[in-house]
């Protein structure tokens, strides 16, 4: 599987070829022109063996592995206006639908297809390829991620589907998608976010930083409203979330954590902090019962640097 995954991080152009991006179908001069029905892709005049084809909009259907679920109506209308003027400049990537002659599933380009219908085009340019399910999902995620078309929840669920359905690891995802492992890990955590947090992320009223701070918080819905109404910063939300989490711990645990640290522990914290360049907190249970070390980071770049140090890369 790893061999099959390599190289997809370059994006859609690696699969359909740079020349296909020059395709233009039904320009502004005649967006409503009638065209004969067709049950199979028609090669455009002058197209070579790797050229593009044309399909009727009614021959296409959304892909079952499309990670994007939300299409802004205003964006579709703007794209439709552009298509009416200049046509579709990049072909859609499609594959035949098994058991349905003349029908094709959209792998990449659903937004263009939707906008083309609003522009009343009859045909759209396509590249037809036999693509398996895992590659279809990879392409869907890569195309949308590279264009920043997915909201964080759609992106997270797309990654989770690759893990659940196709046995990807986070490291393989990072290599395939072209993102850092910390980015993948942080997004995957959002799949367990409360409904109020998920909705705010989809609506764009909450940032990734805010959402991460709210994970595991009991009153997340109330905090979401407070963040939006008061415009709270991520740091402020982290402080509120920390208080909420402290309040849910047993009283004896809170009391023990609040006990002052000895001079040796504080000195060790400073030594490690200076070495890593990150804030380090050591919580020792005492009596040789172990403890924990907490390393705080302010950005994904800092986390990447820490991971590199820990694994020796």
Write down the pLDDT at residue 51: 52
pTM reported for the whole predicted model:
0.51
Domain ranges of the chain: 2-141, 202-279
Write down the pLDDT at residue 124: 92
What is the CATH code of the structural domain delimited by 2-141? Answer: 3.90.1530.10
Q: For the chain, how big is the Rg over CA atoms in Å?
A: 25
Write down the pLDDT at residue 55: 92
Q: What is the pLDDT of residues 285-304, one digit of tens each?
A: 777 777 888 888 777 767 87
Q: How far apart are CA 52 and CA 50, in angstroms?
A: 7
Q: What angle do CA 49, 55, 57 make, to 5 degrees?
A: 155
Write down the pLDDT at residue 136: 84
The residues that bridge with 104 in the sheet, in sequence order, are 60, 96
Write down the pLDDT at residue 225: 92
Per-residue burial over 114-126, b = 16 or more CB atoms within 10 Å of its CB, e = otherwise:
bbbbebebbbbbb
Provide the annotated active-site residues. Answer: 110
Write down the pLDDT at residue 218: 83
Of the candidates 202, 201, 210, 216, the one whose C-alpha atom is nearest the C-alpha of residue 230 is 210
Rounded mean pLDDT for each run of 10 residues along the chain, 313 residues in total: 42 39 38 39 41 85 78 82 86 90 89 90 91 83 69 85 83 82 86 90 88 86 90 85 59 50 76 79 78 80 78 66
């Amino acid at each position: 599987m790893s061999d099959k995954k390599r190289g997809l991080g370059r994006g859609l152009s690696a699969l359909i070829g740079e020349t296909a991006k020059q395709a233009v179908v039904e320009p502004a001069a005649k967006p409503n022109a009638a065209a004969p029905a067709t049950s199979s892709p028609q090669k455009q005049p002058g197209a070579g063996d790797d050229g593009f084809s044309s399909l009727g909009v009614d021959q296409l259907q959304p892909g079952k592995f499309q990670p994007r679920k939300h299409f802004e109506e205003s964006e579709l209308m703007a794209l439709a206006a552009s298509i009416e003027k200049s046509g579709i400049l990049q072909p859609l990537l499609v594959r035949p639908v098994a058991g349905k002659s003349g029908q094709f599933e959209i792998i990449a380009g659903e937004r263009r297809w939707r906008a083309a219908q609003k522009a009343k085009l009859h045909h759209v340019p396509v590249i037809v390829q036999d693509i398996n399910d895992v590659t279809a999902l990879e392409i869907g995620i890569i195309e949308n991620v590279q264009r920043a078309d997915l909201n964080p929840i759609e992106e997270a669920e797309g990654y989770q589907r690759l893990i659940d359905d196709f046995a990807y690891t986070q490291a393989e995802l990072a290599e395939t998608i072209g993102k850092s492992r910390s980015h993948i890990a942080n997004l995957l955590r959002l799949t367990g976010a409360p409904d109020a947090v998920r909705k705010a992320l989809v609506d764009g009223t909450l940032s990734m930083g805010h959402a991460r701070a709210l994970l595991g918080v009991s009153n997340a819905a109330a905090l979401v409203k407070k963040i939006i109404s008061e415009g709270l910063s991520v740091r402020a939300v982290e402080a509120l979330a920390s208080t909420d989490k402290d309040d849910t711990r047993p009283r004896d645990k809170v009391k023990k954590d609040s006990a002052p640290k000895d001079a040796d522990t504080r000195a060790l914290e400073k030594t490690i902090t200076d070495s890593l360049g990150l804030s380090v907190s050591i919580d020792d249970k005492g009596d040789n019962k172990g403890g924990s070390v907490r390393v705080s980071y302010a950005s994904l770049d800092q986390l990447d640097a820490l991971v590199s140090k820990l694994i020796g890369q």
